[in-house]
């Protein structure tokens, strides 16, 4: 690539037409990278989006995705050779600064951060409220059932979240299992782990893969849990009871290696550099 080269880094297929036009003008002096964030093939009612996704896969010089699970169904075998898996990460300098309280509350405090949209499993949260726990929800919400309003803390800034999460007992990811959520690599998981929180999450394919990865790193299956249905609340209570300082340090140690700086270095070495030096 020459001194006047251009890099297009596209994170949504909606920009496909603009990327195509730039690539047509600059040709080999333009490196087109497509980062696949979701299973766009699941969005079949939006046929135009699916078509733009397929065209982006075909014409991209390099593809980036967040989980190996995407390689088959979402990326496709024809494009695997030009695809690099770059998982999500967290800002450890912010979330790693939090220290969980040593004093256990009378009732476990179960917390969630993130967008609450159609993927939320409100039935699981309803069953959770039958347990002796305190629930806290933070983030952007869409059509939240009225019964959860008393537990909603609004939208908190990043600077506020570590303090909020420091008194939680467990962080949760209560998402329904769909072709969309099955491939989601949740940033909130990395943030929970950076704080040191036990994590309970539903059994999507991506969640199970991440559970196995982290358990293998820590040599301990108990630092986070997969649970569904009526078992979710019991799993939260169990995790709060068995948590200890050693498990917290294992979680934080894993999260400390999962930073955005580390991901940046991976993209530079595995995606950009081969084209820059060619």
Instruction: Express each pLDDT in 83-100 by its tens digit.
Output: 999 999 999 999 998 877
- Topology of domain 92-256, per CATH? Rossmann fold (3.40.50)
The number of residues in the chain equals 278
Stretch among 35-49, 155-169, 260-274 having the lowest mean pLDDT: 35-49
CA atoms within 13 A on the CB side of 264: 5
Segment 203-209 shows an average pLDDT of 94
- The predicted pLDDT at position 147 comes to 96
Strands 170-173 and 109-113: parallel
pLDDT-based confidence at residue 4 (cuts at 50, 70, 90): low
Q: Considering the chain, what is the average pLDDT of its residues?
A: 90
Q: What is the pLDDT of residue 1?
A: 47
Residue 14, pLDDT above cutoff 50: yes
Domain covering 6-88+259-276, topology = Rossmann fold (3.40.50)
pLDDT on residue 30: 86
What is the C-alpha to C-alpha distance for residues 138 and 135, in angstroms, rounded to an integer?
10
**Which tops the pLDDT comparison, 278 or 6?**
6
Res 111 pLDDT > 70: yes
For residue 277, name the pLDDT band (cuts at 50, 70, 90).
low
166: closest CA among 72, 101, 84, 228? 101
Weakest mean pLDDT among 56-70, 74-88, 98-112, 243-257: 98-112
Where are the CATH 3.40.50.2000 domain residues in the chain? 6-88+259-276, 92-256
CA atoms of 77 and 70, how far apart (whole Å): 10
Q: Which residue carries 């220290």 as its tokens?
A: 99
Q: Which of 88-102, 147-161, 181-195 has the lowest mean pLDDT?
A: 88-102
Percentage of residues of the chain with pLDDT beyond 70: 95
């Amino acid at each position: 690539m020459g001194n006047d080269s251009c890099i297009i880094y596209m994170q949504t297929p909606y920009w496909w037409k603009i990327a195509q036009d730039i690539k047509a003008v600059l040709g080999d002096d333009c490196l087109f990278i497509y980062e696949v964030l979701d299973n766009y093939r699941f969005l079949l009612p939006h046929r135009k989006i699916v078509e733009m996704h397929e065209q982006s896969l075909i014409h991209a010089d390099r593809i980036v995705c967040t989980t190996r699970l995407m390689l088959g169904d979402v990326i496709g075998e024809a494009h695997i050779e030009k695809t690099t898996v770059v998982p999500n990460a967290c800002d450890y300098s912010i979330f790693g600064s939090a220290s969980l309280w040593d004093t256990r509350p009378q009732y476990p405090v179960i917390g969630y951060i993130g967008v609450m949209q159609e993927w939320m499993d409100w039935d699981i949260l309803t069953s959770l409220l039958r347990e002796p726990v305190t629930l806290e929800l933070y983030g952007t919400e869409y059509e939240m059932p009225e019964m959860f309003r008393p537990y909603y803390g609004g939208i908190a800034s990043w600077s506020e979240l570590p303090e909020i999460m420091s008194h939680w007992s467990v962080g949760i990811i209560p998402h329904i299992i769909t072709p969309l959520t099955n491939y989601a690599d949740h940033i909130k998981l990395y943030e929970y782990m950076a704080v040191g929180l036990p994590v309970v999450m539903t059994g999507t394919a991506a969640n199970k893969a991440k559970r196995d990865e982290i358990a293998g790193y820590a040599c301990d299956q108990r630092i986070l849990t997969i649970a569904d249905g009526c078992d979710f609340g019991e799993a939260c209570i169990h995790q709060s009871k068995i948590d200890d300082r050693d498990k917290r340090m294992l979680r934080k140690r894993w999260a400390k290696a999962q930073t955005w700086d580390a991901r940046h270095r991976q993209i530079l070495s595995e995606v950009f550099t081969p084209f820059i030096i060619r």
